[in-house]
Structures are given as C-alpha cells and as structure tokens.
C-alpha cells in the first residue's frame, strides 16, 4: 500500500495556499514525520522547492498517475510539532494570512546551520613514555613534534585550537601523533549558548508574602485544568516574577515545560540571568539579536528536551516543547507582542490558543494591564489575581507633576523645569543616579499650546489632528477631516502654539550642556543596534559608570537599579496626543512603569513628571499608581466611541507612488466596500492620510472598518479582499486587524 503526504508548498502566493499531495518513496517510509520539511518537484518544470508535511495518509486525493514523488528530506531538518501545525492553520484563519507564512513563523531559521564542533585532544600514553618521545624528537630536530610534546606534558587534555595556537603547529602534526597512538582526537559538539551559566550565581526561592502565596496556591492547585487563564495585576515591585518562578517550579516537578514571554529584547539579559540563577541550565533564550547558530542551538535544545524553560519576546511562543505546563506573558499590555509583518499575530492570542490545544495554563502579568485584558477579567473570562503590596519593604516613592505652562509664564523655555534642574543637581552632588525618560514612542506632530495646554482635536472623533507640512494642514487620521494650520491658540489666543516633538539625541546634547560634570548614557534605537548593546549599556549604568541614563520606553519597565533615586519624565504629552485611541492608555502605562524605576533600593525615590496638560486623568492617575481609577475613566471613553474592547478594527493601508491615483482609488474602494459593509454589520471610516502619509516616495492612505464581531471582519477579508486586490492592481494593499499602532 502506498503512503502519501499532504504538503504545503513554500511559496507565498494566495493561489497556492492549499494542500498538495505527494507519494513517499519506499526508502523514506521510516523517516517521514508530520512537520518535516521535504524537497519536492513542483509545477510544470518540476522545480525542486521546499514543502511542509502537514498530514500522512494511505488514501490519494487525486489521480495516482498525477501524484509526484518526494525527492528527499531537507537537510538540517527541524520538525514542527503536530499541534503547532494545527496552530498554524488557526493563525491562517485568525489573521487572514497564508498557511505558509504561518508555518515559516514557527521555524527559527530559513537557512542551513551546522552543529558547531571542537576537536578535543587527550594524551593516550603515560607521561614517562611521552618524555621518551620528546627526547627523540629533540635529538632528531623534529621541532614541531617537540613543541607539541612539551605542550602535552603540561596539558594532557586540551582543544585542537589551543594546542595549535600555543605551539604554532599544523593539524597534520596532530594527525601524525594520533596515528602513532600518542593522542586521541575526538570531535565534541559545542553548544552556542549566549549566556555562560557558570558565571551566574545560583539563588534560592524567596519567602512569599501573603498575596504572593495566595496567587501561587491558586494557580498551582489548578494546573492542568481546561482553559485556565490568570491575570496577575500587581503594582510595580509587588513580586510578580517570584510568583512566576514558584509556579514554574511546580510545573517542572510534573515533568512539564514553561514558556516565558517578555516584551523587549532589552529586558532579556536581566530576565534570563534571574531565571538562570534559579533554574540553571534548564533555561533557554531565543530572540532576534542572537546569531543564527545560537538560535539554532537553543531551538534544538528545546526540541531535544535538554532545556525546560524558554524565555524571549513574542516568537518564543513557538518554542518546540511537546509537554507545556505554563505560558507566562509578562508586561502583557505591551504593543510589541503584536507582529507588524505577516502573519500579524498577537502573542497573547496565540498563547491562549496554544494553551487550549495542549492543556497548559496561561498567566498574564502587568502593573498596567491592557484595557482589553482587564475588561475580560472584569467579565470573569480570565481569573483576576491582585498583588497590591510591595514584595520588599522600600521607601515610598514621591511623585510630583510639574505644569510646564507655568514654567513658560515664569520665563523658563527650557525642556527642564526649575524643579527638575534642582533635583538633578542635588542627585549629582550626592553621587546618586538619574533616569531621564522621553516619552518618544508615540511621537507624532500634534499641535499644542504651550501657554494653556490646549490640543487641537477633530470634532468628529475626539482624536488630535496630526500636522502635515505639505499643505500646512491638520488632518484627522480617523475620519479624514482636515483644517488649515492655526497660528494662534483657539482657546486662549496665545501665539505659543506649534507642532510638538523632541528626540533623545537632542535631549542628550542639552543634558551635557546643562550638566557638564555628569557622565551620560543614551539608550534608544540608535544606540542599541549592535549585538549585546542593550546588556553593555545597562551593565555600565548598573555598575555606576554613568550618572544619567537617557532613554525611551526601553528603560521604562522591568529594570532594577538600586542607586537610581530620581526619574524625570521630560514630556508626558508626547504619547498623550498622538492620533491613536490608545494614547491615554499608553501614556498611563509608561508613566506608571518609568516612575517605578526610582527608589528601588534603600534610598528614597523621587519622580518628576513634566506636562502641559497635568490635569489629564492618565497623568493624575499615574502619579497615584491608580490603575483602577484610570480604567474606569478610559473604559467609559472606549464605550462611548465604540473602540476596542467594544469593537474590532480592520485597517486597510493603501500605498502608491501616484498620489492622485491613490486618492481616487481610495474613495472608489470605500464605495466598493460599502456595497457589502451593511450586510456584514461593518462601519467604514475614511479614507484619510496615514499617520506617515509618505514613505520612500510612496503615498499612504488608510480605510478603517469597524465591527463588534471579529468574525465579520474575517469574512470580509476572506470573501472580498482578494477581489479588491485584483481590481486595484497598481496599488499596494496591506491589512491589519486590531493593530496596536494606528496607521
């Protein structure tokens, strides 16, 4: 009886996004497994390409005579777990992507990587016999053998690299010694591990306080029960990580595995070290800054069961474990958990789905949960666990909000308020450390009055207008409404109204000018491009090789610097008035996280938040670390405007080098969509210019579809998007459902 395999071909084209069938040759019958990559002949020319096996059967689905045969199994094959194949199929439906793009996401590498080996040299004779050989080699002037022998006298076990480097001999000399039986040469595999476990001091578990103990007991007593999803809402410093670790201990005792997701690569070194200190070589790590060899080895260790905990950003959710007990998503609110390339998955959703498939438990942790997550917890969909006490008794954090409008009235046009300047000088004198945070993540050219704090907003959407230099206009990116740039404040008539924005590099220049005695480090995208640059900058700051650390969201959360006693937020408004309905949520989260970096040691902490709208609830509530107060205000706004979690949004991004054609086509597309939108209960918004309306000579416009039901948007994509793409061939069309950043 013949055996056939169902294969997805490694070609990203929607017309080929289906299952093909191939015959398994007799010599491969015992090797074929679901999840393997195989070499297959494809198309009329029988071009050899890769394919992914997603099923094995004895029943042909086509005429036997037309079914081609597999050529071979791909070299360096990393087999995908069977349940991950099912996960890829789910991702195809959930994120309206091709099955092959989902499968590629599950594979850590797309090129051949070999195992790294090192030849180990071991002396195979007694020292006395070696001495006799050395005497003979010296008499006969066999200088290379003599040097090798002298080295082996002191190093009866070494690597080939060491002996060649120290004696200046060739490998042929060693081969000669092996033939004579003097040494043994054995190839040993070297694991390319980005962290040296032996360099990290081991620690024991900490004594849990009452709240931590209750959370740990609740979770561990229910491990393995169906669809267990917990939200741990814990204030900064409440010890969420200790809860994670003690739960993982119980999971490992059951012979199961754990995945721990973190939002930023910058947090990886600190998180990995803390987990290695507790769990040793059971910990693996995966992220994009590792070399290809390091990623391959970490993935293989997980596959072979040699590690039990995988830590990393969102792609770590696809770790090839076959017996997962717990999936933990720390700082679950972070936007980095949403992929910006196809498949545009959200790691939180994928984690929950994978847990459902495998019977694992999910923990979502945050001091400032996303509105969507906290809403589901309030509705009983997730189990809410609260940590309201500091895990370690520390000094109370003092937070002060500075009204920058008053600074302007008093003649201070600097980016530093007088209070912040005084505090920086004081901390420098005391040799204490300072973090200056620029809320740069949400940078957008909104227009604000520096005298009264008024921000020019769209009347239709209650979203700030975005300034466009072309045409000197203010445009709403939600409804497309546009007005001319104002030259004075509509509220107080002040002339101090302008586009708002500043960068970290400029801040660094100003800091060095104002405080020439200070040693300054900057941490942003520009300074962290090299491998290990995150770790190097943070280590230098932790080791007190700098007085001031300037940074963006990279420094806002998770880091523990005992000597930092002052955090200054230079411009809280930068993320508050971007053209995005999540702006208030992001502002509150970032301010709450960054102010929590101060006073984590024995010294008293102080935080200063500078703002032109200090009365906004996202700022006042962050001062008090009052998440519930913020949530109550924000959820009412979301409900009123029918934004998530009360609706779902599909962004359609249109791009073209021809602006006139793009504008015309975008309005025509809106009319086309309108023909089916009512039937699917979908609201159509736009078209409007994208937040960045032109990139690399490509003009960009956005149409937004809004629906209470996620499935209606998926139906629209699956039934109509391909048809729209065929009609508007000269326009690039990209879609994203519930993006974390508005286009």
Terminus-to-terminus CA distance in the chain, angstroms? 55
Confidence of residue 526 (pLDDT cuts 50, 70, 90): low
pLDDT tens digits, one per residue of 374-403: 999 999 999 999 998 876 655 677 889 999
pLDDT on residue 43 = 85
Confidence of residue 242 (pLDDT cuts 50, 70, 90): very high
pLDDT on residue 443 = 44
pLDDT for 441 beyond 50: no
Higher pLDDT, 83 or 737: 737
pLDDT for 654 beyond 60: yes
Kindly compute the dihedral angle of the four CA atoms of residues 561, 562, 565, 570, in this order, to the nearest 10 degrees.
10
pLDDT on residue 538 = 80
Rounded-to-integer distance, Cα 117 and Cα 185, Å: 12
Answer for the pair 524, 440: CB distance below 8 angstroms, yes or no. Answer: yes
Q: Which domains does the chain have, with CATH numbers?
A: 4-106 (3.40.1440.60), 117-189 (no CATH), 197-386 (3.40.50.300), 398-443+501-638 (3.40.50.300), 445-500 (no CATH), 648-737 (3.30.70.600)
Kindly compute the dihedral angle of the four CA atoms of residues 214, 217, 220, 224, in this order, to the nearest 10 degrees.
-90
pLDDT tens digits, one per residue of 155-197: 888 999 899 999 999 989 999 999 999 999 998 887 777 777 7
pTM (2 d.p.)? 0.82
- Dmax over CA atoms of the chain, in Å, equals 100
Q: What average pLDDT does range 539-566 have in this prediction?
A: 80
Rounded-to-integer distance, Cα 224 and Cα 228, Å: 8
Q: What average pLDDT does range 39-48 have in this prediction?
A: 89
Rounded-to-integer distance, Cα 626 and Cα 623, Å: 8
Confidence of residue 311 (pLDDT cuts 50, 70, 90): very high
Rounded-to-integer distance, Cα 580 and Cα 588, Å: 14
How much of the chain is in helix, strand and coil states, percent to nearest 5? 40, 25, 40
């Amino acid at each position: 009886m013949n055996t056939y395999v169902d294969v997805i071909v490694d070609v990203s084209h929607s017309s080929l996004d289906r299952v093909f069938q191939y015959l398994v040759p007799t010599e491969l019958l015992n090797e074929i497994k679901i999840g393997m990559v195989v070499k297959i002949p494809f198309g009329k020319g029988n071009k050899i390409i890769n394919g992914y096996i997603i099923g094995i059967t004895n029943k042909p689905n086509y005429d036997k005579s037309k079914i081609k045969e597999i050529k071979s199994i791909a070299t360096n094959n990393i087999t995908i777990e069977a349940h991950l194949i099912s996960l890829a199929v789910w991702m195809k439906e959930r994120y309206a992507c091709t099955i092959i793009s989902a499968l590629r996401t599950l594979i850590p590498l797309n090129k051949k990587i070999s195992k790294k080996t090192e030849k180990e040299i071991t002396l195979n004779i007694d020292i006395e016999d070696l001495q006799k050989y050395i005497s003979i080699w010296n008499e006969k002037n066999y200088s290379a053998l003599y040097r090798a022998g002298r080295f082996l006298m002191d190093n009866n076990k070494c690597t080939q690299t060491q002996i060649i480097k120290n004696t200046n001999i060739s490998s042929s000399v060693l081969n000669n010694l092996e033939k004579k039986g003097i040494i043994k040469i054995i190839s040993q595999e070297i694991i390319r591990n980005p962290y040296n476990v032996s360099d990290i001091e081991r620690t024991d578990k900490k004594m849990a306080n009452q709240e931590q103990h209750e959370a740990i007991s609740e979770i561990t007593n229910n491990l393995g029960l169906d669809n267990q999803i917990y939200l741990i809402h814990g204030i900064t410093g409440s010890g969420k990580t200790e809860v994670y670790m003690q739960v993982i201990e119980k999971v490992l005792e059951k012979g199961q595995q754990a995945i721990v997701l973190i939002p930023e690569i910058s947090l990886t070194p600190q998180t990995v070290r803390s987990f290695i200190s507790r769990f040793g070589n059971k910990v693996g790590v995966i992220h994009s800054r590792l070399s290809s060899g390091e990623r391959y080895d970490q993935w293989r260790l997980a596959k072979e069961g040699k590690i039990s905990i995988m830590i990393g950003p969102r792609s770590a959710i696809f770790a090839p474990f076959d017996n997962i007990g717990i999936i933990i998503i720390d700082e679950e609110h972070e936007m980095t958990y949403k992929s910006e390339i196809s498949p545009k998955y959200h790691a939180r959703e994928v984690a929950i789905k994978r847990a459902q498939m495998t019977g694992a438990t999910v923990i979502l942790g945050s001091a400032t949960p996303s509105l969507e997550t906290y809403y589901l917890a309030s509705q009983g969909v997730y189990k809410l666990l609260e940590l309201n006490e500091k895990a370690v008794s520390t000094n109370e954090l003092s937070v002060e909000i500075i009204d920058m409008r008053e600074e302007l009235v008093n003649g201070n046009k600097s980016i530093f308020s007088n209070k912040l300047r005084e505090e920086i000088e004081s901390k420098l004198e005391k040799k204490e450390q300072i973090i200056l945070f620029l809320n740069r993540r949400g940078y957008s050219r909104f227009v604000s009055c520096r005298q009264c704090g008024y921000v020019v907003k769209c009347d239709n959407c209650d979203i700030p207008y975005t300034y466009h230099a072309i045409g000197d206009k203010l445009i709403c990116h939600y409804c497309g409404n546009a007005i001319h740039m104002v030259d004075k404040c509509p509220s107080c008539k002040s002339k101090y109204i302008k586009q708002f924005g500043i960068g970290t590099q400029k801040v660094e220049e100003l800091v060095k000018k104002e405080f020439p005695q200070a040693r300054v480090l900057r941490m942003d995208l520009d300074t962290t491009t090299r491998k290990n640059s995150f770790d190097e900058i943070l280590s230098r700051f932790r080791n007190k090789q700098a007085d001031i650390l300037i940074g963006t969201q990279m420094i806002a959360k998770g880091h523990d610097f005992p000597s930092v006693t002052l955090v200054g937020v230079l411009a809280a408004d930068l993320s508050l008035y971007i053209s995005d309905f999540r702006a208030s949520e992001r502002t509150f989260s970032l301010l709450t996280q960054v102010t929590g970096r101060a006073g984590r040691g024995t010294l008293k902490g102080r935080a200063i938040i500078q703002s032109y709208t200090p009365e906004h609830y996202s700022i006042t509530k962050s001062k008090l670390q009052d998440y519930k107060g913020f949530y109550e205000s924000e959820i009412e706004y979301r409900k009123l405007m029918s934004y998530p979690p009360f609706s779902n949004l599909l962004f359609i991004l249109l791009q073209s080098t021809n602006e006139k054609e793009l504008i015309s086509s975008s309005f025509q597309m809106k009319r086309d969509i309108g023909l089916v939108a009512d039937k699917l209960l979908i609201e159509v918004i736009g078209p409007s210019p994208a937040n960045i309306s032109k990139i690399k000579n490509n003009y960009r416009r956005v149409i937004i579809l809004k629906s209470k039901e996620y499935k209606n948007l998926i139906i629209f994509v699956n039934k109509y998007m391909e048809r729209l793409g065929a009609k508007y061939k000269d326009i690039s069309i990209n879609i994203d459902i519930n993006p974390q950043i508005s286009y």
